Amino acid sequence: MYRANEDYLKLPGSYLFSTIAKKVSAFQAENPDKKIIRLGIGDVTLPLCPAVIEALHKAVDEQADPATFRGYAPDLGYEFLRHAMAENDFRARGCDIADDEIFISDGAKSDSANIQEIFTKNTKLAVCDPVYPVYVDSNVMAGRCGDYDAETGMWSNVIYMPCTAENGFAPELPSETPDIIYLCFPNNPTGSAITKDQLQVWVDYANKVGAVIIFDAAYEAYISEDNVPHSVFECEGARTCAIELRSFSKNAGFTGLRLGATIIPHDLKVKQDGEEVELHRLWARRHGTKYNGAPYIVQRAGEACYSEAGKAQIKEMVGTYMKNASYILNGLKDAGYQAFGGVNSPYVWLRTPDNMTSWEFFDHLLTKANVVGTPGSGFGPSGEHYFRLTAFGSYENSVEALDRIRAL
Strand arrangement of the beta sheet that strand 158-162 belongs to:
102-105, 260-263, 242-247, 212-216, 180-184, 125-129, 158-162
The verdict on domain 53-307 having CATH code 3.10.310.10 is no
pLDDT band at residue 271 using 50, 70 and 90 as cut-offs? confident
Q: What fold, for 14-47+309-406?
A: Aspartate Aminotransferase, domain 1 (3.90.1150)
* pLDDT higher than threshold 90 for residue 367: yes
Summarize pLDDT for 135-150 with one digit per residue, the tens. Answer: 999 999 999 999 999 9
Helix (H), strand (E) at residue 38: strand 37-38
Q: What is the pTM of this model?
A: 0.95
3-state secondary structure of 393: coil
pLDDT recorded at residue 309: 98
* pLDDT higher than threshold 80 for residue 407: yes
Q: Span 378-401, mean pLDDT?
A: 95
Which residues lie below 8 Å from residue 360, measured CB to CB, with a gap of 6+? Answer: 352
* pLDDT higher than threshold 90 for residue 53: yes
* pLDDT higher than threshold 90 for residue 15: no
Q: Span 393-403, mean pLDDT?
A: 95
pLDDT recorded at residue 92: 98
pLDDT recorded at residue 207: 98
Q: Span 87-104, mean pLDDT?
A: 98
**How many C-alpha atoms does 237 have within 13 Å on its Cβ side?**
16
pLDDT-wise least confident of 42-46, 68-72, 115-119, 152-156:
42-46
Q: Which amino acid is at 58?
A: K
pLDDT band at residue 42 using 50, 70 and 90 as cut-offs? confident
Burial of residue 131 (CB within 10 Å: 0-12, 13-18, 19+) is buried
* pLDDT higher than threshold 90 for residue 225: yes
Average pLDDT over the chain reads 96
Q: Span 292-312, mean pLDDT?
A: 97
| Omega before residue 189 within 30° of 0, cis | yes
- Residue 225 per-residue DSSP state: S
pLDDT-wise least confident of 12-21, 239-248, 331-340, 370-379:
12-21
pLDDT band at residue 9 using 50, 70 and 90 as cut-offs? very high
pLDDT band at residue 304 using 50, 70 and 90 as cut-offs? very high
pLDDT recorded at residue 273: 87
Domain ranges for the chain, please list them.
14-47+309-406, 53-307
Which residues lie below 8 Å from residue 216, measured CB to CB, with a gap of 6+? Answer: 108, 112, 132, 182, 183, 184, 185, 188, 244, 245
CB 247 within 8 Å of CB 108: yes
pLDDT recorded at residue 256: 94
